Copies of this chain bind each other. A is one copy, B any other.
Amino acid sequence: MTDTPKTMNGAESVVRSLHKGGVDVCFANPGTSEMQFVDALDRTKLMHCVLGLFEGVVTGAADGYARMAGKPAVTLLHLAPGFANAAANLHNARKGRVPVLNLVGDHALRHQQYDAPLSADVEAACAPFSDWVKSGTDAGSFAADAMQALAVTKGRPGRVASLIAPADIGWDEGGQMAGAIAPDGPAPLDEDALSAAVAALESGQRTLIIAGNSVLEDTSALAQLRGIADKTGADLLAPTSNRRIERGQGRAALAKIPYPINMALETLAPYARAILIETVPPVAFFAYPGRPSLLLPENCDTVTLCSVDGDGPATIAALADRLGAAPAKVQDRLVPARPQGGAITLKNIGAALANALPEDAIIIDEAVSSGGDTYPAGDAARPNSWLSLTGGSIGIGIPLSAGAAIACPDRPVITIQADGSAMYTIQGLWTQAREGSNVTTIILANRAYEILKGELHNVGAQPGPDALSMLNLDRPHLDFVAMAKGMGVPGRRVEDVAELMQAIEDAAKEPGPYLIEAML
């Protein structure tokens, strides 16, 4: 079935070429204009096809897959509205610099001149949420376009590419296999910046190193960075939002720049010098009356030692070499005492997670307003990969976990999921059930868009009952266990913290998905 045939249509040439280029998973929510891809995927059997019941599930899963597999999956999306449904999680992937390759079906070229019901400008719809957009023009060059898109996604630091696929170039014969194109390598080491960074670290002034992206995925680089900090007295922070951090016992830990504006400003206020590695100067999530947009102090002398398209671990090795700094030996961290029981609160949930998160777990963090209390658990827990909401567009957790589980079927996935955010892409539970993935979703049920209550205060409002009603989800109550059951995912509600820990431990050991509704 999988021998390359002498003649094939455009869709088949794309599927076969991408597969030769290493793409073997397709996340899909196809429609009529993608039927030739469904057919080609069916006939070639080259890719594992994962169906999402909503496009935001498809792209969130592609993001989670790529973060853990270290390579892109392909998505199959349907016209401009299908792309729009997919866009919020592509926004997150793009801000996280995660490689995702979209095949976006469009009407046949000859049909595009008519105002058919599903017609809209697909290129224009893709542009704000893609780093690269191209529309295929004919069956013969279609696979070459796809391979170009693949190279774009894999270029450092990871990009979102959208190839638009008019239906007729998929079904026309004349498809030609296309070979792999080498992606852009990392930007070279900047020797001047390296000297400036060394000078900053030896200046005697209070200096902060902020390191992001691939540094956080590399335990050796993290240990080397900690060694630099130990030797020079510099402090270390990670950005607020990160695609993946290797955390847990035995690994050097970095705190994050806090999300709340006042905490962020306070955290960064002491620094006269800042060194950036694979990240940009930190900026507030939102603007607020009377607060600055840029978070570092105005007079902070900032060196971009390694831009986001550079090689952070190699840069850190060069910096350590210049400073004569050895990698730090990471000490065991104290695990908070295991809570013995009682109501689940923001005070005990961190300790509960630190004790209950299993070895080698993938943690999907969409805790939002509870994040300040749950995030520290990742350092005290057993070694884990910690994946966060990157672009601020809520509704990533359930899909991200579905994709991560497909990349790493032998690792338990634990999703720490805010309730309000869960509702944006709740359909992803069905994909977890369909794929039999070992994902344990912990719903942090505070029955509110809790984070927005703080934001209302930040703009100077004194919220009355109508405003609060727009931010509360308690009328009616959401019953996540019932919703999960409706999508084939078993689950239970827990109100006791000891019971929560037991439920996490049990669910992670069992194959297949499970949902725990933790009442806060």
Interface residues of A, Cβ cutoff 8 Å to B: 28, 30-33, 35-36, 38-39, 41-43, 45, 49, 51, 53-54, 56, 80-82, 84-85, 87-88, 91-92, 95, 107-108, 110-111, 113-118, 120-121, 124-125, 127-129, 167-168, 171, 240-241, 280, 283-287, 289, 293-294, 390-393, 395, 420, 423-424, 426-427, 430, 433-434, 452, 455-456, 458-461, 463-467, 469-471, 473, 475-488
Contact = CB atoms under 8 A, between A and B. Distances in A.
A36 B288 CA distance: 11
A56 B427 CA distance: 14
A467 to B, nearest CB: 4
A287 B108 contact: yes
A102 B87 CA distance: 18
Contact of A111 (B30, B85, B124, B284): B284
A31 to B, nearest CB: 7
A391 to B, nearest CB: 5
B430 A476 contact: yes
B287 A467 contact: no
Contacts of A480: 486
Given A392-B117, A393-B81, A482-B485, A423 B54 contact: yes
B84 A51 contact: no
Contact of A466 (B49, B54, B85, B461): B49
B478 A486 contact: yes
A220 to B, nearest CB: 28
Contact of A84 (B88, B121, B240): B88
Contacts of A36: 459, 461
A56 B85 CA distance: 9
Contact of A85 (B32, B424, B427, B460): B424
Contact of A129 (B82, B117, B120): B120
Contacts of A424: 53-54, 85, 427
B286 A167 contact: yes
Contacts of A35: 452, 455-456, 458-459, 461
Q: In the complex this chain forms, how many copies of it are found?
A: 2
Given A84-B129, A434-B475, 5 more contacts: A53-B420, A87-B125, A118-B391, A479-B485, A484-B486
The 9 closest A-B pairs by CB, nearest first: A476-B488, A483-B486, A482-B486, A42-B467, A108-B287, A84-B87, A111-B287, A39-B461, A81-B393
B168 A456 contact: no
Contacts of A168: 287, 289
Contacts of A124: 124, 127-128
Contacts of A128: 80, 120-121, 124-125
Nearest to A45: B466
A459 B39 contact: yes
B293 A30 contact: no
A433 B287 CA distance: 35
A330 B172 CA distance: 50
A69 to B, nearest CB: 21
B483 A116 contact: no
B31 A452 contact: yes
Contact of A283 (B115, B120, B461, B478): B115
A482 B433 CA distance: 15
Contacts of A82: 88, 393
Contacts of A487: 476, 478-479, 483
Contact of A467 (B38, B110, B116): B38
A36 B43 CA distance: 54
A49 B481 CA distance: 28
A272 to B, nearest CB: 22
B426 A476 contact: no
A116 B283 contact: yes
